Amino acid sequence: MKPMLIIACGALAREINALVAANGWQQVRVQCLPADLHNHPERIAGAVQDKLHEVDRGRERVFVAYADCGTGGRLDQVLAAHGVERLPGAHCYDFYAGEQVFAELAAAEPGTFYLTDFLARHFDRLVMRELGIDQHPQLAALYFGNYRRLLYLAQREDPVLMQAAERAAGLLGLAFEYRYTGYGDLHTSLLRFIEGEEKWPN
């Protein structure tokens, strides 16, 4: 059976490794690109392409655990050239909530700032420090003045992360809402790719 490689966004590392362990996928390995690429989407397609060039496709099948993630279709161009699939949707909120549900959430309140477990866990570093709000609190109104709510899309029911997400909403002056999504289409996409691959010949 041909081994499999998942090239993943570092922001999904914990969730993907949990799914690999829970499903007993021993033939799967995961390589994560830096989660900080989240803040530099223009670099994602090139980083994925560099990683794909390192893979021996005769020995491994590859799946890319990114959505479009702000690349404006550039990631899809890279993946099409290599014949590789990725996660569905425009971003991680899409595949966690499901595309239809996310579209309904966005339509109900366009001024929504979204958190996942990863972003709730690393909010201080990725938002407060990266945007300079920790040193200049007045920047929160500049960056988030058009937002009305913070919606935490939770992958796990974790009271510590819930508290962190509520705190984040307070720091940004936004109303707080919570929705448990679990792993959503992240799980179903990996199941389709990995379990489907098990039926293929070597």
Query: Over the stretch 41-84, which tens digit does the pLDDT of each residue have?
Result: 999 999 999 999 999 888 999 999 999 999 999 999 999 999 99
Same domain, 161 and 136: yes
Lookup: tokens for 22: 């829970």
How many domains in the chain? 2
Q: Rounded CA gap, 42 and 31, in Å?
A: 20
In angstroms, how far is CA 8 from the centroid of its own chain?
A: 9
* pLDDT exceeds cutoff 50 at 199: no
| Confidence grade of residue 198 (pLDDT, cut at 50, 70, 90) | very low
Amino acid 197: pLDDT: 52
Residues 76 and 119 in one domain: no
- Distance in angstroms (rounded) separating the CA atoms of residues 137 and 153: 25
Residues contacting 74, CB < 8 A, separation 6+:
44, 45
Same domain flag for 81 and 120 = no
pLDDT band at 1 (very low <50, low <70, confident <90, very high): low
On whether residue 202 sits in a domain, the answer given is: no
Distance CA 198, CA 11 (A): 27
Residue 174: both structure tokens together: 């936004």
pLDDT value of residue 196: 72
Q: How many whole angstroms from its chain centre is CA 133?
A: 23
Pairing of strands 4-9, 61-65: parallel
The mean predicted confidence, pLDDT, of the chain is 93
Q: Tell whether 173 and 130 lie within a shared domain.
A: yes
**What's residue 202's pLDDT?**
34
List the beta bridge partners of residue 80: none
pLDDT in tens, 92-149: 999 999 999 999 999 999 999 999 999 999 999 999 999 999 999 999 999 999 999 9
One DSSP character per residue, 38-56 reads: GG-GGGHHHHHHHHHHT--
Q: Is position 112 within any domain?
A: yes
Range of the domain at 83: 4-92+184-197
Separation CA 87–CA 85 (nearest Å): 7
**Does residue 142 share a domain with residue 111?**
yes
For residue 195, is pLDDT > 90? no
- 59 and 103, same domain (yes or no): no
Do residues 79 and 109 share a domain? no
